[in-house]
Structure 1
Amino acid sequence: MQKIVPFLWFEDSKAEEAAKFYTSIFKNSKIINTMRYGKSGPGPEGSVMSVNFQLEGQDFYALNDNPQFKFTEALSLFVNCDTQKEVDELWEKLKEGGMELGPGWVKDKFGLAWQIVPSFLFEFLNDPDPEKSQRVMKSMMQMNKLDIDKLKQAYEGR
């Protein structure tokens, strides 16, 4: 087991639905365990209390609880993508029922924010040549879903 595991609090009874949704989107992902309430509660006996699942080998816990606390963009899950196909597929699946937030950011139907980002982006943004990095930043800020070809063109000055 990992030493540090993200623990995601879902409103009402969405934890199992969310875990199934996320594991259907990411390769090398699975539900590990579903924990149910017993007679002692506090939820109805037999209903889902929490779900332990993995996305690309990263462990997560999802908890069902009341809607008192909601996800905000102050926490997001960052996904490094190697191809435009991967960016496109993840973006489309995660925004279904959710919304686009801005350059590389999408909020899913459960309210969780994701950053869907080409793996080379920070290398480009940290280039020692400020003209290159600023061209990439300017290009990126004009997008919602990130476009690898356009970012590379900006980097190369084309």
Structure 2
Amino acid sequence: MLQIVPSLWFGDNNCEEAVNDYVTIFPNSRISQMVYYPNENLSEHFVGMAGKVITAEFCLNGQKFIGLDGGPIFHFSEAISFTIECQDQAEIYYYWEKLSHVPESEQCGWVKDRYGLSWQIVPNNIAELQQTDAQIKALMSMKKIIISELEAAK
């Protein structure tokens, strides 16, 4: 079966730190492989990359990812995010605490982590919780999603 694997370019050359951090946050996670740029014989395009990560293969809760240190040419944007479907309010609080590091980016369950990657931390029944205009209005006013407030907004 074809697997689609997200590949993450860490523009601040902090791939190794991010991968090590992510595998401590998510259950069923591990680092499969970490390959580094050599210390010698790098072409002019890779000057300053010695010891940085060429590729990191890792799984977060069973989902395979690839990461790399690519230098400052590209950075993450909010155009791409990863959704964490939480079982309950406690899980929302847990992931919010672990991942939200840019308060001005918080909106409707979206957060940005310290590596610039965006996440959507939502209840696994989010579709059911935005059935009415009142629920949608309540959701749009939230930063961290509060399930009980969406339920009450029916």
What is the TM-score of this pair, normalised by structure 1? 0.85
Provide the rounded CA distance (Å) in 2 between the counterparts of 1:95 and 1:124. 22
Change (3 A) 1:47 1:72: closer
Q: C-alpha displacement at 1:48, in angstroms?
A: 2.4
* Corresponding residue for residue 112 of structure 1: 117
Q: C-alpha displacement at 1:140, in angstroms?
A: 0.7
How many residues are treated as equivalent by the alignment? 147
The alignment partner of 2:33 has SS state of strand
* Corresponding residue for residue 11 of structure 2: 11
Structure 2 unaligned spans of 5+: none
The alignment partner of 2:148 has SS state of helix
Structure 2 counterparts to residues 1-158 of structure 1, below 5 A:
3-38=3-38, 39-41=40-42, 42=46, 43-44=49-50, 46-96=51-101, 98-99=102-103, 100-125=105-130, 127=131, 133-155=132-154
Contact 1:81 1:117 in 2 (8 A): yes
**Partner AA of 1:106 in structure 2:** V
Provide the rounded CA distance (Å) in 2 between the counterparts of 1:140 and 1:20. 32
Change (3 A) 1:109 1:2: farther
- Cα RMSD between the aligned structures? 1.7
Provide the rounded CA distance (Å) in 1 between the counterparts of 2:2 and 2:31. 15
How much identity, in percent, do the aligned residues show?
40
The alignment partner of 1:144 has SS state of coil
Query: Which fold has the larger relative contact order, with Cα–Cα distance below 8 Å and residues 6 or more apart in sequence?
Result: 2
